[in-house]
């Protein structure tokens, strides 16, 4: 380096902050460690003295202002006169009910480095005040009890207790996960902020009810597990279960119950783990739960347990009761950071013909608006003259009829010009931010179905003008971490954990758009939608016919097809869309903004296609062997025509999910 300024390529302060946020290490200490690090000021404030040659010494004050900054190394030294060890600041008090040797404290697995957000507002501060109740998202967990049998995959489950929670916050319940899945928990603890000595937000339970114990079962284990339900005082509700390894009831100070007006209703969601024996007393199912009312309800992340055969439950979730449920939402700079950190890459199939485009590209390539009675005119500018009143069936958009435009070109879209339209909205009582990412396709291609080993192309069935698909990123407002991803799939969709994706650049999930139908998936390959099992006799016939009909292997993901269903194919290709560099934030619910005119359009984005469904089935199956053709017709006639999307869709703002939660 011969430049006069060798620092010219060094990072600035914001860049240094980003470096630290991205790469700062975690340092673990040995279980038997007695001597921990401290801040320099902590050492000074706990009696450090400075000694100089000749034995002269004095206490170190403030930030070390009087420490010598001259002389040589041996002229002075520091020494502790009297201080106490700060080990209590670094260790976790263990529950005496838990007697297992394995008391390792673990944190959840992030899909990549956590973003470094700009400061401002109440977003990303670790705790959120719901009104009378402040909640903190636990980051560390201690194993309580584990089993390696039972559950949907036979690998068992493990129960954990949130630990290392700040002073003043209280446990609301324990957490459970399948052993086959990584630890990626979102469990809340709570602090009373009512200052009400008589009707505070939190009270201890008055008793516990034993829901289940592994004692007396055939589970092989070193210790027994016990699942308890806290019994709340009148006017309060239990939010989670407590798990111990002792038959003695937990301490009443172990957990808290929540005042009823600060809670909301939940419903049983997905099975985490279950164990079944001959008697119901020895059998149990453990579930996740989900709020019934999504907009103000706040899930706690605890599990729900009940004996097999029972259909009632007594747990609740929390509720946002503040007058401003948006107070912990991110500001514009923080939203920009979210998008840069988590915006997905969308891959298209190598054989894809119908790509997304921007809405304006479609308008500028001859799109026309039709109203009842056949009146139609070209769409101009940003959709300024599109109807923003009436019902969804009062108007529809269509491909150009003017010969001056190329209809085939309009159908194929233009990936280079495509834009992802992002709607930022609050979720789950304002404790999460949803980034709903909408992609527009001018045309949706024909579908395919799978019948055992036979893949059948469906001619025109499934074709329609206009296709809106979306991906929703759900990011917590406690720390700004991506917690789940929603993928739209055939009029509904599915939530996925970030741990179920592959990632680009550490934190950005890879999403696959299926061939022609553009349904979103988290993995490549063949996916079957609305699949149903085919009976054994029909399957035998199908494979006999297939073996004589084709030498192609009927294998996908190492398994033979034994189902009937709509088939979606997904794969990587050179055609990929980087959402982070090609997006437009069209609406932030808690910020004033002028919506683009086309967002307020109330009609359909394509005409209703009419064709003879049965004749199309005959056309699609005519090349099959006779027995296969007969079965295919019977199965296809059971599928509702609307599943293949014969009508043009509504626009994003007209869909239920614009103001509500996603459809699953």
Per-residue pLDDT band for 624 (boundaries 50, 70, 90) equals: confident
The mean pLDDT value for 99-120 works out to 72
Q: How many CB atoms lie within 10 A of CB 220?
A: 9
pLDDT exceeds 90 at position 218 = no
- What beta strand segments (E) does 460-605 contain? 464-476, 482-489, 492-496, 503-504, 508-513, 520-521, 525-533, 555-556, 559-560, 563-570, 576-578, 583-588
Query: Which residue do the tokens 């992802």 mark?
Result: 420
Q: Kindly state the average pLDDT of the residues 438-452.
A: 92
Report d(CA 304, CA 267) in Å as an integer.
10
More confident residue, 45 or 334: 334
Q: Are 470 and 441 in contact, with CB atoms under 8 Å apart?
A: no
Per the prediction, the chain carries an average pLDDT of: 87
Angle at 70 between CA 68 and CA 71, to 5 degrees: 110
Classified as helix, coil or strand, 343 is coil
Q: What is the pLDDT of residue 73?
A: 55
> CA-to-CA distance for 267 and 37, rounded, in angstroms?
46
State how far the Cα of 163 lies from the Cα of 143, in Å rounded to an integer: 10
Binned at pLDDT 50, 70 and 90, residue 589 comes out as: very high
- Cα-only R_g, the chain: 30
User: Which residue did the predictor score with more confidence, 647 or 272?
Assistant: 272
Residue with the larger pLDDT of the pair 608 and 569: 569
Helix (H) or strand (E) holding 407: helix 407-412
Half-sphere exposure of 354 (CA within 13 A, CB side): 26
Which sign does the torsion angle of CA 477, 483, 487, 491 carry?
Answer: negative
**Cα–Cα distance, 399 to 378 (Å, whole number):** 10
pLDDT at 92: 32
Q: Which residues pair with 567 in a beta bridge?
A: 448, 528
Check if the beta carbon of residue 228 is closer than 8 Å to that of residue 207: no
Say whether pLDDT at 411 is over 60.
yes
Q: Is the pLDDT of residue 91 over 60?
A: no
pLDDT at 63: 77
Residue 559 tokens, joined: 């398994």
Question: Looking at residues 354-383, what average pLDDT do you find?
Answer: 93
The pLDDT of residue 90 is 26
State pTM to two decimals: 0.81
Q: Which residue has the higher pLDDT, 434 or 593?
A: 434
Is residue 472 within 8 A of residue 486, CB to CB? The reply is yes
Return the sign of the alpha-carbon dihedral for residues 646, 650, 656, 662. positive
Q: Quick one: average pLDDT of 132-161? A: 91
Structural tokens at position 395: 């108007």
Q: Of 440, 648, 448, 635, which is closest to residue 539 (Cα–Cα)?
A: 635
- What confidence score (pLDDT) does residue 637 get? 76
Mean pLDDT confidence for 420-439: 97
* β-pairing verdict for 508-513 and 345-348: parallel
Q: Which two tokens stand for residue 38?
A: 């401290």
What are residue 432's DSSP bridge partners? 427, 476
User: What count of other Cβ atoms lies within 10 Å of the Cβ of residue 615?
Assistant: 10
**Residue 555 clears pLDDT 50, i.e. is over it:** no
> For residue 98, what pLDDT is reported?
38
Average pLDDT value for residue range 136-156: 89
pLDDT band (50, 70, 90) for residue 257: very high
Mean pLDDT over 40-44 rounds to 83
Tens of pLDDT, residues 157-186: 999 999 999 999 999 999 999 998 888 878
Q: In what order do the strands lie in the sheet with 395-398?
A: 376-378, 368-371, 395-398
Label residues 27-36 b or e (16+ Cβ within 10 Å = b). Answer: eeeeeeeeee
Beta-bridge mates of residue 474: 434, 484
Closest CA to 294 of 320, 271, 255: 320
Tokens representing 385 are: 């003259």
Cβ-proximal residues to 358 (8 Å cutoff; 6+ apart), any chain: 414, 417, 418, 419, 440
Cα–Cα distance measured from residue 589 to residue 658, given in angstroms and rounded to the nearest whole number: 10
Residue 157 burial (C-beta neighbours within 10 Å; 0-12, 13-18, 19+):
buried
Q: Cβ distance 118 to 333 under 8 Å?
A: yes
Check residues 113 and 286 and name the one with the higher pLDDT.
286
Q: 49-53, 119-123, 156-160, 291-295: which has the minimum mean pLDDT?
A: 49-53
For the chain, first and last CA: distance in Å? 60
Which of 111-120, 489-498, 611-620 ranks highest by mean pLDDT?
489-498
């Amino acid at each position: 380096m011969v430049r006069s300024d060798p620092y010219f390529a060094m990072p600035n302060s914001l860049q240094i902050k980003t470096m630290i946020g991205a790469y700062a290490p975690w340092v673990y200490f040995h279980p038997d460690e007695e001597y921990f690090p401290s801040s320099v000021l902590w050492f000074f404030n706990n009696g450090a003295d400075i000694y100089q040659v000749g034995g002269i010494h004095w206490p170190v004050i403030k930030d070390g202002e009087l420490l010598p900054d001259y002389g040589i190394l041996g002229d002075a030294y520091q020494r502790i006169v009297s201080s106490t060890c700060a080990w209590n600041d670094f260790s976790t008090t263990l529950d005496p009910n838990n007697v297992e040797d394995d008391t390792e404290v673990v944190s959840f697995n992030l899909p990549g480095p956590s973003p470094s957000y700009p400061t401002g507002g109440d977003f990303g501060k670790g705790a959120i005040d719901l009104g009378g109740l402040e909640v903190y998202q636990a980051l560390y967990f201690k194993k309580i009890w584990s089993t390696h049998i039972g559950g949907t995959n036979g690998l068992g489950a493990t129960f954990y207790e949130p630990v290392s929670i700040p002073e003043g916050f209280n446990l609301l319940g324990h957490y459970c996960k399948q052993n086959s899945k990584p630890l990626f928990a979102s469990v809340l603890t709570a602090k009373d902020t009512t200052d009400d000595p008589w009707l505070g937000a939190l009270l201890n339970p008055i008793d516990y009810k034993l829901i289940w114990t592994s004692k007396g079962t055939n589970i092989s284990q070193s210790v027994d597990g016990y699942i308890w339900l806290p019994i709340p005082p009148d006017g309060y509700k239990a939010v989670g279960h407590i798990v111990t390894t002792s038959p003695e009831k937990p301490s009443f100070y172990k957990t808290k119950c929540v005042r009823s007006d600060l809670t909301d209703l939940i419903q049983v969601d997905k099975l985490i783990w279950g164990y079944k024996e001959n008697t119901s007393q020895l059998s149990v199912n453990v579930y996740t739960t989900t709020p019934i009312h999504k907009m103000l309800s706040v899930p706690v992340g605890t599990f729900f347990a009940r004996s097999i055969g029972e259909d009632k439950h007594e747990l609740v979730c929390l509720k946002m009761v503040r007058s401003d449920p948006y107070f912990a939402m991110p500001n514009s700079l923080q939203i920009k950071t979210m998008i840069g950190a988590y915006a997905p890459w969308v891959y298209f199939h190598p054989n894809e013909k119908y790509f997304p485009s921007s809405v304006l590209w479609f308008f500028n390539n001859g799109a026309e608006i039709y109203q009842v009675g056949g009146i139609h005119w070209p769409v101009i500018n940003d959709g300024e003259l599109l109807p923003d009143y009436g019902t969804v069936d009062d108007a529809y958009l269509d491909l150009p009829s003017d010969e001056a435009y190329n209809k085939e070109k309009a159908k194929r879209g233009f990936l280079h010009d495509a834009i992802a339209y992002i709607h930022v909205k609050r979720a789950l009582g304002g404790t999460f931010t949803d980034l709903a990412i909408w992609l527009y396709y001018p045309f949706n291609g024909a579908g395919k179905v799978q019948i055992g080993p036979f893949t059948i192309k469906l001619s025109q069935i499934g074709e329609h003008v206009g296709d809106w698909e979306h991906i929703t990123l759900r990011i917590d407002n406690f720390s700004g971490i991506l917690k789940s991803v929603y993928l739209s799939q055939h009029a509904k969709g599915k939530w996925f954990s970030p741990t179920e994706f592959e990632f680009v650049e550490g934190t950005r999930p890879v999403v696959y758009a299926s061939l022609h139908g553009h349904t979103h998936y988290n993995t490549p390959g063949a996916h079957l939608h609305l699949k149903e099992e085919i009976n054994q006799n029909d399957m035998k016939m199908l494979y006999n016919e297939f073996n004589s009909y084709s030498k192609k292997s009927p294998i996908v993901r190492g398994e033979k097809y034994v189902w009937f269903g709509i088939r979606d194919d997904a794969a990587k290709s050179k055609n990929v869309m980087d959402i982070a560099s090609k997006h437009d934030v069209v609406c932030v619910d808690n910020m004033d903004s002028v919506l683009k005119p086309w967002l307020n359009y109330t009609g359909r984005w394509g005409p209703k296609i009419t064709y003879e469904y049965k004749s199309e089935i005959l056309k699609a199956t005519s090349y099959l062997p006779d027995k296969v053709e007969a079965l295919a017709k019977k199965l296809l006639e059971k599928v509702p025509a609307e599943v293949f999307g014969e009508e043009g869709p509504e626009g994003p703002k007209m869909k239920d999910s614009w103001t509500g939660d996603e459809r699953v």
